[in-house]
Amino acid sequence: MWTGRQTLASIEGAIAKLHGEESQLDRALRSAISDTERLRNERSQGLRELARVKLDEMAAGHLINNLDAGERRALQILDDYRLRIAAAAQQCEALQREVTAAEAGRHAAAEAVEAALESVEDLRATAEAQAQTSQAWRDAKARRDQAEAVALEAEKKAEASEAELGAKKQPYNEDPLFSYLWRRQFGTAHYAGSGVARLLDRMLAEFIAYGDARPNYAALIEIPLRLREHAIGKRKAVDVPHTVLAEIERLAMVEAGIEAKEKVLAETRHRLAVLDDTVEKKREMLRKVDEARKSLVAGNSDPAYNEALTIVAAADAEDSLANLYAESRRTPTHADEAIVERLETIDARIAKTEAEIADLRRQALELSRRRNEMEEVRGQFRGTGYDHPQSTFANDGDLSVVLKNVLEGAVRSGVLWDVLRQGHRSRPARSSADFGSPSFPLPFPMPGDNDGDTAGGAWRNPSSAGTWLPAPNRSRSHDDDFTTGGSF
């Protein structure tokens, strides 16, 4: 079983490995570009030799000058392109080392938080067992439990009345004449009709016996409201005995030495927050540099590289160059035959190297896509609060397999997120969830229990607080379609 911290470390380790593979591809790409530079330089020299052998001095000089201008510019651009890739890759590698070191520090701080929290939990459980032996605690708990029982009974009655209300008021609601008079508040001090309208409304009321139906309907909808008000009052009445009980429990924890352990936990939380912020800032720096590196590696959007390809293509399309090849093949001599064979070999090697460059680019972009998906999963993981000290993942075997498959490109990272969601559990506290509550809540929110905040990562904020277990949501809406027609 992995903890949330261990699972996050595994995800970050996979991301770092993908970064490492990207660095290897960058080095291979730079090597291939260097090979292209070298081969094109050899090709240029071979063409010069061939031109001098096959053409007269003036034609040879003209062709060589054109080749020199084009090839020199192309080689200069390719060299600059290779150097820029190297610089961006070096920056990425350096920042990745910084991120990895910062993550290691952050994981150590998270481990210290877990240890501090475990120490607090152990003492809390001990204090609970000790407190339960005292008569004061038993008396306070009995009063709290009695108030809680009364509140629960009142809530049950209110809920039952509310459930019955829908069926009982349906006949009234489906009567359009009754509904009309009810909305007009006929028969109450709030009725505003006059003249002919009042006369017609009175006739209508007599026709449907509204005078008898109105008080029955008013009582029908009033009873659930009054029962709910009563239940709310009884629930509030639980607060006093509950606070008394919590104070006794808090005193037991203080006497057991909880304050020193709480101080250690607070200090480790603050240290974790600082290191977590450091990691995120370094990741943002790495992201920006990586975007520039990825743009260079893609090549298609790089104007300098495209310029180099255009220059080379233009130089190769020269009629004089084509004529030179044709002339060499028509009248082969021992001298030019060897040069042409060498040039054809170089051309084939250039084509192969350029195909290798294209393949390396494709691999780099695919690897970058997989890494970006993994980084999105890491963001979801942290945002949901799965790295919480009390988070666990019982399916660590499945996670290991899926992480391996994602690294190999066999599955998409969405599968990893599904496995994470399926395996996540919150480790239960060692003591009662409400022991010492509300005076001693869990120091930080539990995953998925953040008072409506979907960002479960709020637990990393040192000022946050929560409960030892996700608390049931007792609040609910009791709005109705109708209100009472006035004062009765």
Structural domain count of the chain: 2
Which region among 13-22, 411-420, 462-471 has the lowest average model confidence (pLDDT)? 462-471
Same domain, 100 and 218: no
Q: Is residue 389 part of a domain?
A: no
Specify the pLDDT at position 127. Answer: 93
pLDDT band for 6, please (50, 70, 90 cuts): very high
Report the DSSP beta bridge partners of residue 2: 393
| Nearest by Cα to 416 from 439, 399, 433 | 399
Residue 352 reports pLDDT greater than 50: yes
What is the C-alpha separation between 340 and 43, in angstroms, rounded?
A: 10
What is the C-alpha separation between 264 and 332, in angstroms, rounded?
A: 88
What is the C-alpha separation between 145 and 288, in angstroms, rounded?
A: 58
Last residue within a domain, chosen from 239, 254, 269 = 254
Q: For residue range 228-269, what is the model confidence (pLDDT) as tens digits?
A: 999 999 999 999 999 899 899 999 999 999 999 989 999 999
Handedness of CA 196, 202, 208, 214 (dihedral sign): positive
Using a 10 angstrom Cβ sphere, with 0-12 exposed, 13-18 middle and 19 or more buried, the burial of residue 237 is middle
Same domain, 102 and 134: no
Handedness of CA 68, 69, 72, 78 (dihedral sign): negative
- What is residue 424's three-state secondary structure? strand
Specify the pLDDT at position 222. Answer: 82
What is the C-alpha separation between 287 and 28, in angstroms, rounded?
A: 22
Helix (H) or strand (E) holding 340: helix 334-384
Same domain, 228 and 305: no
Q: Which residue has tokens 């996700």?
A: 470
The answer to whether 74 and 41 are in contact (CB under 8 A) is no
Residue 478 corresponds to which amino acid? H
Task: Give the residue-averaged pLDDT of 404-430.
Answer: 85
Q: Which residue has tokens 């030495």?
A: 257
Same domain, 261 and 247: no
Specify the pLDDT at position 390. Answer: 86
Specify the pLDDT at position 169. Answer: 77
Same domain, 122 and 164: no
The answer to whether 377 and 417 are in contact (CB under 8 A) is yes
- Residues in Cβ contact with 454 at an 8 Å cutoff, skipping those fewer than 6 apart: 383
Same domain, 79 and 109: yes
Higher pLDDT, 188 or 322: 188
Same domain, 250 and 261: no
Residue 38 reports pLDDT greater than 80: yes
Q: Is residue 413 part of a domain?
A: no
What is the C-alpha separation between 83 and 461, in angstroms, rounded?
A: 43
Residue 301 reports pLDDT greater than 80: no
Q: Is residue 404 part of a domain?
A: no
Which region among 48-52, 66-70, 213-217 has the lowest average model confidence (pLDDT)? 66-70
Task: Give the residue-averaged pLDDT of 467-480.
Answer: 44
What is the C-alpha separation between 391 and 2, in angstroms, rounded?
A: 9
Last residue within a domain, chosen from 224, 254, 284 = 254
What is the C-alpha separation between 270 and 113, in angstroms, rounded?
A: 10
- DSSP label at 433? T
Higher pLDDT, 269 or 208: 269
| Nearest by Cα to 242 from 124, 142, 123, 133 | 142
Q: How many CA atoms lie within 13 A of 449 on its CB side?
A: 19
CA dihedral 244, 249, 254, 258 (to 10 degrees): -140
Q: Is residue 398 part of a domain?
A: no
Task: Give the residue-averaged pLDDT of 196-213.
Answer: 83
Task: Give the residue-averaged pLDDT of 411-428.
Answer: 86
Specify the pLDDT at position 284. Answer: 93
Helix (H) or strand (E) holding 63: helix 57-131
| Nearest by Cα to 311 from 80, 77, 85, 81 | 77
Same domain, 39 and 176: no
Last residue within a domain, chosen from 226, 254, 282 = 254
Q: Is residue 26 part of a domain?
A: yes
Same domain, 146 and 246: yes
Rounded mean pLDDT of the chain? 81
Same domain, 201 and 122: no
Task: Give the residue-averaged pLDDT of 367-384.
Answer: 90
Report the DSSP beta bridge partners of residue 449: 446
What is the C-alpha separation between 409 and 419, in angstroms, rounded?
A: 17
The answer to whether 181 and 210 are in contact (CB under 8 A) is yes
Specify the pLDDT at position 98. Answer: 95
Most confident of 7-16, 27-36, 413-422: 7-16
Specify the pLDDT at position 279. Answer: 94
List the structure tokens of 236.
């509030």
Residue 125 reports pLDDT greater than 60: yes
Give the number of other CB atoms < 10 A from CB of residue 232: 15
Which region among 87-101, 240-254, 428-442 has the lowest average model confidence (pLDDT)? 428-442
Specify the pLDDT at position 9. Answer: 93
Specify the pLDDT at position 487. Answer: 32
User: Over the range 346-365, which residues count as b (16 or more CB within 10 Å of their CB) and which as e?
Assistant: beebbeebbebbeebbebbe
Residue 321 reports pLDDT greater than 60: no
Same domain, 122 and 19: yes
Same domain, 120 and 6: yes
| Nearest by Cα to 440 from 246, 256, 259, 282 | 246
Q: For residue range 60-75, what is the model confidence (pLDDT) as tens digits?
A: 555 555 555 666 666 6
Q: Is residue 381 part of a domain?
A: no
List the structure tokens of 192.
């505003």
Specify the pLDDT at position 307. Answer: 61
Q: Is residue 380 part of a domain?
A: no
Tell me which residue range forms the domain holding 59: 2-128+257-372
- Residues in Cβ contact with 183 at an 8 Å cutoff, skipping those fewer than 6 apart: none
Specify the pLDDT at position 109. Answer: 95
Q: How far is CA 368 from CA 14, 21, 26, 291, 298, in A?
A: 13, 10, 12, 10, 11
What is the C-alpha separation between 480 and 471, in angstroms, rounded?
A: 27
Q: What is the phi/psi pair of residue 393, to 5°?
A: -135, 105
- Residues in Cβ contact with 17 at an 8 Å cutoff, skipping those fewer than 6 apart: 407
The answer to whether 298 and 365 are in contact (CB under 8 A) is yes
For residue 344, what is the domain's CATH number? 1.20.1270
